[in-house]
Amino acid sequence: MALKSVLQVKDLSKSFGNVDALRKVNLNFFEGEIHAVLGQNGAGKSTLIKLLTGLYETSSASGFLILNGDEIQLDSVSDARQKGIGYVPQEIEIVDTLTVAENIFAGNLPTNNGVFSHNHILKLAQELVDKYELNLPVSDFASSLSTAQRQTTMIARALASNPVILLLDEPTTSLSKEDAQTLAKTMVGLRAKNVTMIYITHRIPEVLNLCDRATVLRDGQVALELAKSDFSTEKIISSMIGKSLNKDNTESYKVISGTNILTLEDIHVPRRGPQSVSLDDVNLTLREGEILGLGGLVGSGRTEVLGVISGRTPLVTGKITLNGEVIVGANPQKMRDKGIIYLTEDRKREGLLFNLNLIKNTTAGSLKLFSKLGILDEGKESEIAVAAMKSLTVKTNSYAAEPSHLSGGNQQKVLLARALISKPKILLLDEPTKGVDVGARQEIYEVIRRIQASGTSVIVVASDLDELLSLANRVVVMAGGKSVDEFERADGDEARILKFGTGVLS
């Protein structure tokens, strides 16, 4: 088979401040192939996608994109679409109140000599569906579609602009096994029509079954490129992990054999929105004084577990036991009163108060420490807050400043200070170093270890396996909304976490 290059990525580099997201990445996508791009969280997959879809302008990176032999510059999403890069985003965005045909052409409605005609659109949609042999009832309302059909509609929308290449961004994340198989069939059908596809994923079995070639990204570089004949789970996993991990980090190897202070049993929670996943049988225990790491990939249900423990997510079935007491009707207020403090991964939306200064940010929710009969003692308040911020080395010109002018690391320390002044028994940390620069990361790890040393039990969610494994005394692995593995730090490493997260074991 003579391979014709459809899209070539040449020496593509992109950095954000001091962080290199992509470093001289070279990729070649050949006509009629399904080419998998794999990588851990933070490997550079999403930066690559954003550059290929025009969300980041080509001029903001260095290197070349060559489409059908011509160098292209992408200035915007619509520019990328026009030039022939079709994009199927991770989220299924379908308007239920419109027909399938209208959904296919949404944002780009064709007109019949300047006049919008539904029949015209139906005809065009039917032509498209026939051409690619998609299973879609174009005149039906989207509300009647199955999940798999919705996904197909998204693909049809991308195909409607006659793309040279189709980019599918983790399309199976929100699909059931059956729906994922339907999708695979659709993709095989498209390949038969000579459509070239880039398949972004972290599920290795799908790659083995479906794809013709696979590229693994790691730390912004191409770590491995394999043809179908060379595919192997071991090769892909070891290349995703790399060898750069800090092996001498044995600080967390200590086995903490405290009593169980928190137990989750058979937790089930339905999906609550487009950004969340359902929990489907989660079991875990937290021992007093330990740091428990929740491992697994993005979308495996880690954040949702913290939601259940902090009382934000109401239980459907399952049992939470805290210090021997079964908790019924958990809500944030109640769990906070019991000493469980949650620190969000989304500082901007669920953490900081941009209308209040750092002192008031720190004391939010802990006003009782310095008030009598509801009247605040602001002198004592600033004493408490400033002491907490100083002990966490928050760097700011003034503690009366608002949080918007702090760096990510310092914002995170302010939120840690807020958590600490209420003297939590259990601290839940969701991606504690997200958006924090490398220097401040170590400081935050130190803070977390100090919190542990003071007797607080900690649950950490971290996508960075190095971070997770250097902090956690014990690890619970999440995959597909289930807790699938639990081990002492000394008994496992990144491979053990990844094996489950990538669907190799389940």
Partner 1 sequence: MDNLRLKKGQSKNSEGFFYRLLAVPELGVIVALISCAVIFQSLNSVFLSSQVMGSIVQAVTFVSIIAVGQAFLLISGVFDLSVGAVAGLVAVSSGKLMTSMGWPVWAGIIGGLALGAAIGAVNGFMVTRAGVPAFIQTLGMMFVAQGMIQVVTKGYPVYPLPEVMTTIGESSFFLTLGWNAVIWVVVSLVGDFVIRKTSIGRNLYVIGGNSEVAKIVGINVQRYQMNCFILAGTLSALSGILVMATLSAGAPSIGGGWELTVIAGTVVGGVSLFGGVGTVAGAIMGVLLIQCVQSGLITSGLSPNFQLIAVGTILVLAVFLDVSRRGYRNRMRNSEKAETPVFPLEKGKGGGE
Going by C-alpha positions, the residue among 270, 466, 426, 446 that lies closest to residue 343 is: 426
Site for partner 1 in 17-76 (CB under 8 A): 17-18
CB atoms within 10 A of CB 446: 12
**In angstroms, what is the minimal distance from the CB of 348 to partner 1?**
9
* Helical H segments across 274-314, by residue range: 302-309
| Integer CA distances (angstroms), 248 to 25, 256, 450, 469, in order | 30, 19, 20, 11
CB of 326 or CB of 400, closer to partner 1 = 400
Per-residue contact flags (x/-) with partner 1 for residues 65 to 84, judged by CB under 8 A: --------------------
| Residue given tokens 């042999």 in the structure block | 133
Q: Which of these, 162, 167, 159, 146, lies nearest to 104 by C-alpha position?
A: 159
DSSP 327: P
Q: What are phi and psi of 120, to 5 degrees?
A: -60, -45
- Structure-token pair, residue 215: 């590229």
Q: Check binding of 355 to partner 1 (CB under 8 A).
A: yes
Which is closer to partner 1, CB of 109 or CB of 353?
A: 353
Q: In Å, how far from its chain's centre is CA 30?
A: 29
Task: Pick the binder of partner 1 from 342, 416, 462, 498 (CB under 8 A).
Answer: 342
> Which range in 197-205, 277-285, 296-304, 353-361 contacts partner 1 by CB under 8 A?
353-361
Q: Is 11 in the site for partner 1 (CB under 8 A)?
A: no
Give me the 315-334 binding string for partner 1, x by CB under 8 A, dash otherwise: -----------------xx-
Structure-token pair, residue 414: 């302010």
Q: Which residues lie closer than 8 Å to 239 by C-beta, 6 or more apart?
A: 216, 218, 223, 224
The distance of closest approach from Cβ of residue 374 to partner 1 in the complex, given in angstroms and rounded to an integer, is: 5
Report the residue from 130, 378, 446, 491 that binds partner 1 according to the rule CB under 8 A: 378
Three-class SS state of 343:
strand
Give the shortest CB-395-to-partner 1 separation in angstroms. 8
Choice from 368, 393, 423, 455 touching partner 1 (CB under 8 A): 368
| Residue in the block written with tokens 């065009």 | 124
- The binding track of 400-439 with respect to partner 1, each residue x by CB under 8 A or -, is xxx-xx-x----------x------------------xxx
Q: Where are the alpha helices (DSSP H) in 118-244?
A: 118-132, 147-159, 177-192, 204-210, 233-241
In DSSP terms, which residues pair with 216 in a beta bridge?
A: 38, 224
Q: Return the H-helix or E-strand segment holding 353.
A: none
Q: Which of 55, 66, 208, 356 binds partner 1 (CB under 8 A)?
A: 356
Residue 489 within binding range of partner 1, rule CB under 8 A: no
Question: Please, where are the H alpha helices in 160-263?
Answer: 177-192, 204-210, 233-241
* Euclidean distance between CA atoms 52 and 351, whole angstroms: 32
Please identify which residue in 113, 229, 244, 397 interacts with partner 1, judged by CB under 8 A: 397
Q: Which is nearer to partner 1, 187 or 389 (CB)?
A: 389
Q: How far is the CB of 446 from partner 1 (least distance, A)?
A: 15
Question: Of residues 229, 329, 379, 453, which one binds partner 1 by CB under 8 A?
Answer: 379
| Distance (Å, whole) CA 423 – CA 148 | 48
Q: Which of residues 436-475 bind partner 1 (CB under 8 A)?
A: 437-439
> Using CB under 8 A, which of 96, 130, 230, 337 touches partner 1?
337
* Contact call for residues 295 and 478 (beta carbons, < 8 A): yes
How is residue 384 written in tokens?
């408490």
> Nearer Cβ to partner 1, position 258 or 439?
439
Of the listed pieces 150-158, 272-280, 367-375, 472-480, which binds partner 1 according to CB under 8 A?
Answer: 367-375
* Binding footprint of partner 1, residue count (CB under 8 A): 48
> Residue 398, interface with partner 1 (CB under 8 A)?
yes
Residue 382 in the binding site for partner 1 (CB under 8 A): yes
Residues that bind partner 1 (CB under 8 A): 17-18, 310, 312, 332-333, 336-337, 342, 344, 349-356, 359-360, 364-368, 371, 374-376, 378-379, 382-383, 386, 396-402, 404-405, 407, 418, 437-439
